[in-house]
């Protein structure tokens, strides 16, 4: 079987780390990205085809140019929760119609294996923690709904076209490459750790903790932070699972351990050797009290194991942001 993999959105944050890991493990990789949020500089040694999944001819042409593609890892999506609520059409068009166009191009080319970048946002506020894959889907944002609907579309392509797929439901993707060459360049930062890094580099005047009255040990919300390189190895494990005859199945990707906002802040202080002021504000509407993954299915079925913890996440993120304060412009 050919070992050529198409990675859509492979110039983005998680996509570029996965491309690197695929190459490290000996796979041939083709990257397809519209570069709206991706960066050509993040794709170091793979062919980059600039195109958009909303243009069916552009993605179909990739399979015609590379008839030996054996599987697809699909990252290409808009991912901002807040923006999704103000621009729902943008998210439904891109995240769902783009996936439909990809699936049509795959089936026309006879490619039957798809690893899908999904999210724990499909669960909304979970009824139970740690969260298993049996948790009911009740997304609370357009972004989460768009990913859940894309999963449903894929299930129908499995039933009608035989496309086997694995939705990988990440928790909080974090960190950067250990050589500080690629990282989370998304600007402006919208997630906790990159926001902290921008604050330490003087790119933000203030840092707010939203809510310190949660029913948690230190009063701040708890999340499951997983290193981006651990996510990369999980995608490859999922692809091999499908190649070995695995049925379509969702997997949670997290460490299985929650960290509070204050624990993140204290680890940042420890790793960077810097003290800094923080301010407390009210809770944000819709923020869950606590959420972390039950990753037993991924461990058992995929043979995957997260290797890194909070310290490595903060260390690599600090190294990346320190080396690239303006992102890939540096």
Q: Could you list the active site residues?
A: 143
Rounded CA-CA distance 39/70 in Å is 25
Rounded CA-CA distance 330/328 in Å is 5
Altogether, the residues listed in the chain come to a count of 330
Cβ atoms of 75 and 18 within 8 Å: the answer is: yes
Tokens matching residue 285: 């509407």
Handedness of CA 78, 84, 90, 92 (dihedral sign): positive
Find, among 12, 29, 17, 36, the residue nearest to 94 by Cα: 36
Q: What is the DSSP string of 185-234?
A: --SS--SHHHHHHHHHTTS-S--EEE-S-SSSTTSS-EE-EEEHHHHHHH
Cis peptide bond prior to 188, omega within 30° of 0: yes
Q: Which residues pair with 49 in a beta bridge?
A: 32
Tokens matching residue 187: 């600007």
**Under 8 Å CB-to-CB from 285, ≥6 apart: which residues?**
none
Burial string for 134-143 (b: 16+ CB within 10 Å, else e) reads ebebebbbbb
Rounded CA-CA distance 13/42 in Å is 8
């Amino acid at each position: 079987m050919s070992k050529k993999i198409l990675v859509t959105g492979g110039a983005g944050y998680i996509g570029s780390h996965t491309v690197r890991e695929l190459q490290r493990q000996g796979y041939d990789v083709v990257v397809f990205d519209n570069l709206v949020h991706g960066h050509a500089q993040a794709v170091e040694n793979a062919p980059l085809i600039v195109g958009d999944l909303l243009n069916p001819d552009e993605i179909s042409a990739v399979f015609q140019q590379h008839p030996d593609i054996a599987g697809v890892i699909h990252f290409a999506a808009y991912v901002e929760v807040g923006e999704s609520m103000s621009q729902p059409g943008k998210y439904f068009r891109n995240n769902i119609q783009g996936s439909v166009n990809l699936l049509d191009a795959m089936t026309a080319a006879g490619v039957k294996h798809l690893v899908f970048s999904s999210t724990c946002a499909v669960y909304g506020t979970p009824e139970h923690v740690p969260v298993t894959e049996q948790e009911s889907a009740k997304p609370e944002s357009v972004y989460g709904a768009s990913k859940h609907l894309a999963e449903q579309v894929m299930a129908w392509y499995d039933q009608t076209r035989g496309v086997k797929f694995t939705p990988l439901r990440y928790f909080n993707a974090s960190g950067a490459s250990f050589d500080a060459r690629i990282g989370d360049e998304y600007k402006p930062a919208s997630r906790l750790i990159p926001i902290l890094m921008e604050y330490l580099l003087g790119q933000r005047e203030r840092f707010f903790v939203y809510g310190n009255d949660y029913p948690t040990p230190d009063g701040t919300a708890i999340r499951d932070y997983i290193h981006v390189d651990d996510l990369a190895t999980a995608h490859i494990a999922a692809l091999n699972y499908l190649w070995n005859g695995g049925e379509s199945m969702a997997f949670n990707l997290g460490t299985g351990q929650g960290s509070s906002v204050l624990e993140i802040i204290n680890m940042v202080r420890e790793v960077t050797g810097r003290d800094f002021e923080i301010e407390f504000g009210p809770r944000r509407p819709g923020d869950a009290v606590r959420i972390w993954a039950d990753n037993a299915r991924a461990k058992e079925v995929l043979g995957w194991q997260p290797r890194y913890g909070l310290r490595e996440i903060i260390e690599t993120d600090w190294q990346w942001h320190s080396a690239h304060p303006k992102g890939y412009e540096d």
